[in-house]
Amino acid sequence: MKRMVQFYEECSPVFQTLLAAFPTAVLFYFAALLGTWISQLWQGPNALLKVGSHGIVFIFVATVFLFTADRFKAVRSSIRLQKEHERNALAAAHAHCDRVTSSIIGRIAPHSSPAGFIELYCGSVEVIREFVKAAYLTFSDSYGNGSDPMSRINFEVTFMTLSYRDSKITIPACANRDSRQPRSMVLRSSNPDIYKDTETAKIYNAPRPEPVIVNDTKQFQKYSELYPGELERLRSSIIYPVLSDKNELLGTVVTHCDKAGFFDSTRSKYWFELLEVFAKHIAVEKRKLDVLTSVSGTLNLPLPVPPPF
């Protein structure tokens, strides 16, 4: 049914008008045909039995036909609502990113601290965190606010990358409803390799970094659970690579939610387009930090100590 509706939406307006008129035309046609049948049946033997049986068949066929037409309308309305949500979410993504950019513009001023100067004009972990928060707000505002608090979808967005301190995967930026860092980061202090089996690690080890959509973490083969009970909270995920202009992997934007099946691979084109809005902004700041880290000794730059993450 959904494919039929999608085919209908892709048709020309003239053809859509013809299809919309088709159910009404069919009902009128069968009503006229039934009238002719009944007038003929009344003239033969067992007229009452024949008319009754024809009436039952017609009612059954009409019911099935009207039910199918109603389902078609319901699916069509659902698809249109989904597209409207997608347009609104994309608009919100750009609006949140513009807000971060405006706040950066407002902070541009002379700084007495060399470290403050570098953070503002060269590269900043805080800016990455602001764009991660912008991504979280986009998903939460567009999809998480339900009328029933018990059925509300909770999201979490993280940026995963290699640490400047130990070259192992870490999470320098995270945003969620409770404004808390992931539980796994607490465990990382005693186990720096805690993320070595995650989907982000697999993307780092892949010949070509590709996004990963996890429809249901409990059904996804070898999805890494970092601590007991984590998958009760993270039920559906997208792991999206953040790339440089040379297609070098700078990290991943990971979006989780607590509703299984929310991130559907059939909508991958839309999800990737939405996340790319934030990935590009994050890539700029991450690339700046990479360059600053590599040249700090040569140029004797007063970078903040210890390193950002």
Tell me which amino acid residue 246 is.
K
Q: Which residues pair with 159 in a beta bridge?
A: 173, 253
Q: What is the pTM of this model?
A: 0.76
How many Cα atoms within 13 Å fall on the side-chain side of residue 159? 30
Return the pLDDT at 138.
95
Tokens standing for residue 55:
């009436």
- Which residue stretches of the chain have pLDDT < 70? 1-24, 27, 30-31, 33-35, 37-38, 40-42, 44, 46-48, 50-51, 54, 69, 72-76, 78-79, 111-121, 146-150, 296-307
User: SS3 for 242?
Assistant: strand
CA 178 to chain centre: 20
Q: Is 247 left (phi over 0), alpha (psi -120 to 50) or beta?
A: left
Helix boundaries (H) for the chain:
2-10, 13-41, 47-107, 114-121, 125-139, 183-188, 199-205, 230-233, 268-299
Residue found by looking up tokens 């009754």 in the block: 52
Measured between alpha carbons, how far is 66 from 35 in angstroms, rounded to an integer? 20
User: SS3 for 252?
Assistant: strand
Q: Which residues pair with 169 in a beta bridge?
A: 162
Q: Using an 8 Å Cβ cutoff, are 195 and 168 in contact?
A: yes
Measured between alpha carbons, how far is 201 from 228 in angstroms, rounded to an integer? 20
- Given strand 212-214, what is the order of strands in its sheet? 169-176, 155-162, 249-257, 236-243, 212-214
What stretch of H or E contains 175?
A: strand 169-176
The CATH class for the domain spanning 109-299 reads alpha beta
- Residue 242's contacts (CB-CB under 8 Å, 6 or more residues apart) are 159, 161, 249, 250, 251, 252, 253, 279, 282, 283, 286
Domain definitions of the chain by residue range: 2-81, 109-299
Q: How many residues does the chain have?
A: 309
In Å, what is the CA distance from 178 to each residue of 12, 158, 175, 283? 47, 14, 8, 26
Tell me which amino acid residue 65 is.
F
Measured between alpha carbons, how far is 256 from 277 in angstroms, rounded to an integer? 17
Q: Using an 8 Å Cβ cutoff, are 115 and 303 in contact?
A: yes
Q: Using an 8 Å Cβ cutoff, are 125 and 304 in contact?
A: no
Measured between alpha carbons, how far is 151 from 145 in angstroms, rounded to an integer? 9
Measured between alpha carbons, how far is 73 from 132 in angstroms, rounded to an integer? 38
